[in-house]
Structure 1
Amino acid sequence: MIRSVRHFAKVAKLSVLTGLVAGLSLVGSSAVAQADYPNKPIRLIVGFAPGGGSDLIARLVAVKLAPVLGQPVIVENKPGAGSNLGAEIALKSPPDGYTLFLSAASYTVNPSFYKLPFDSGTDMTPIALLARGPFIITTNKDFPVKTLKELVELAKASPGKYSYATSGTGSITQLATEYFNEIAGIKLLHVPYKGTSPALTDTVAGHTNIVFGTVASTLPLVKSNQLKALAVTTPARLAALPDVPTVKEAGYPQYEVTNWHGIIAPKGVPVAIQQKLNKAINQVLQDKEMEKTLTSDGLTAAALTPEEFGALLKSEIARWGAVAKSRGLSIK
């Protein structure tokens, strides 16, 4: 009996030692892997089709980031379900830093409209913010207003008579417009389209009256006098439209909406890899060619720490959730 107890104790001791050695080995391997990161190509998933604003930013960043990291950064387009398909693929990948996701402002809107197979606020590792820019509030060139105040007065006089176009129900532009409707106390009729291009085309043609458009897609139409710009949604004016006021300057100081892009990764990416990626991306954002390209699209580079970017994501998810709830918005 005593021999059996001694034998059991010896076996147990060996098991503990073996476990400790194995654990130390794993820790050592993990540390080596992090120090050696990256040692193979990185994929950057985009939840939209090729050719759009998110795709273009992703490819620009990928080209500049590859030589900094010493490995190729391969852009993969996984469009579908308002970018949720790509987000799911990325966030359910191993948290090793080799799969990243190009998140747009729509990422923080989607939880308000979709039943997602992941938690947008917690099932991710924030890496870096890339760029920020405004939406331009525009009307058809023949619409009988010259200022945002005049638009509000007209809309108040005839609630629900005038329409605004968006790229679809549940889009960031719908939330941005409804947020303004709430602050200004007006009611505009929502006309959703399957994409930005048809929304802009019908507003130019006069079939819809108003559109909150991105700079890249809307500025050329303003410059060619096909659309009339009333205001921009960020705190600062747009350099390409210096005479167009901000919404705050137009009389609505509490309104501010930014169109942004950033990079996130699956939950659990080691801090060392998170910090290395953030540092590399922020270095890329200082590139003169990068800055020039972003500026031409009405965007500005926006370097943040992972913690700052994470806080932004969570605050935006909360804000758009509140707007969707107060305005009774849903995808039917």
Structure 2
Amino acid sequence: MHPFATMLRALCAAALIGVAGAPLAATAAYPDKPIRLIVPYAAGGGTDTAARMIARKLAPLIGQTIVVENKPGGATQIGTAYVASAAPDGYTLLMGTANLATNSVLYKKLPYDAQKRLTPVVWATDVPVYLLLPAASPIRSLDALKLAATQQQGLTFATAGTGSIPHLAGEQFAHQTGIPLRHIPYKGSSEAATALVGGQVQLSFDNLAPVYAQVQAGRLRPVAIAAAARNPELPDVPTLTELGVPLIASSWWGVMAPAGTPSTAIGLLNSQINAVLADPEVRRYFAGLGMQAVGGTPDAFGRHIAAETEKWRAVVHQAGVKIEE
């Protein structure tokens, strides 16, 4: 054989050995470094609290630190856009909220396309909305609420912001019952609760966690829960459906990843977060905050987001809800 041919064969063989060996040297099992979980709200709120509990319990299961980072602003748009544009490698995740459904309906233009740029990992928690009255209010039934609305030519209701799930729940409640309600938005649940206790508004819709201290102190009274079943922590509070109003409304949170994230990473995260959500300690902790641990497959979470988007789209159009951009 010609010397050049012999050398060429040797070089090709060496190259093939190198290529064959490359995956073993370069590919590491996921995850091999800390994972960032982006919370699109400020620290201390319900979304942040849930994210940190999940991160703490998830870390030992996958053998890596989960770093929770807060990127608030723009009704979750800043944090969501950050993750939507991140590398799809499984190392940047989003604690997605119900705004994934409502923002696409309320805003004409968003800095991301959630359907195209994000993929579901797991539905983490469900946070039902409550109808709340001041504890001192003489109103004790839905009929009494209707009568008061008639006598006062309508009532006002407070929520923590226009376009929130509690706000849209209030609009749907007004439509279903025929009770004329006027929405008064506040900057947060604390301000809304203070206004309700102080008599600036007649009722409010909110999640339980941010107003639970007021409930425990005897200043606010949960009248009904917009859920399919009563909350075991508050067994005396009926569902709105029991009162004849078929309204189901809840805020919800779940983990999302950038579109294109490897299915192996999605599968691992899904199975291990489901294990976290099945942990009795986690379930008790969430229940004490008015949250319900959910879990399930990525597809199930994706279907939930799609259904919620269409549900609230109808309410936004019917009530004429507008966001000032």
Normalized against structure 1, the TM-score is what? 0.86
1:216 to 192, 195, 209: 209
Task: Kindly state the Cα deviation for residue 79 of structure 1 after the two structures are TM-superposed.
Answer: 0.3
Task: Kindly state the Cα deviation for residue 225 of structure 1 after the two structures are TM-superposed.
Answer: 1.9
Counterpart for residue 160 of structure 2: 167
1:193 to 161, 166, 186: 186
2-side partners of 1:67 and 1:156: how far apart? 57
1:52 partnered with 2:45: yes
Percentage of matched positions with identical amino acids? 38
Counterpart for residue 305 of structure 1: 297
Task: Kindly state the Cα deviation for residue 157 of structure 1 after the two structures are TM-superposed.
Answer: 5.2
Counterpart for residue 81 of structure 1: 74
1:154 partnered with 2:135: no
1:231 partnered with 2:212: no
Cα 1:111–1:153 change in 2 (3 A) is: farther
1-side partners of 2:98 and 2:300: how far apart? 15
Task: Kindly state the Cα deviation for residue 183 of structure 1 after the two structures are TM-superposed.
Answer: 1.4
1:203 partnered with 2:190: no
2:262 to 239, 261, 270: 270
Aligned 8 A contact 1:156 1:185 in 2: no
Code of the residue aligned with 2:269 in structure 1: it is L
1:66 to 59, 62, 67: 59
2-side partners of 1:29 and 1:310: how far apart? 33
Task: Kindly state the Cα deviation for residue 29 of structure 1 after the two structures are TM-superposed.
Answer: 5.3
Structure 2: gaps spanning 5 or more residues: 1-15
How many residue pairs match? The answer is 304
Cα 1:309–1:204 change in 2 (3 A) is: same
Task: Kindly state the Cα deviation for residue 142 of structure 1 after the two structures are TM-superposed.
Answer: 3.2
Normalized against structure 2, the TM-score is what? 0.88
Counterpart for residue 11 of structure 2: none
Structure 1: gaps spanning 5 or more residues: 1-20
Counterpart for residue 326 of structure 1: 318
1-side partners of 2:275 and 2:33: how far apart? 20
Provide the secondary structure at the position in 1 that maps to 2:114: coil
2-side partners of 1:136 and 1:322: how far apart? 21
Counterpart for residue 128 of structure 2: 134
Which piece of structure 1 moves more, 135-144 or 71-80?
A: 135-144
Aligned 8 A contact 1:121 1:313 in 2: no
Code of the residue aligned with 1:88 in structure 2: it is A
Which piece of structure 1 moves more, 297-306 or 217-226?
A: 217-226
Structure 1 vs Structure 2 CA RMSD = 2.0
Deviations 1:140-180 (A, max 9, x none): 22333102342234325544x31111111122211111111
1-side partners of 2:36 and 2:222: how far apart? 38
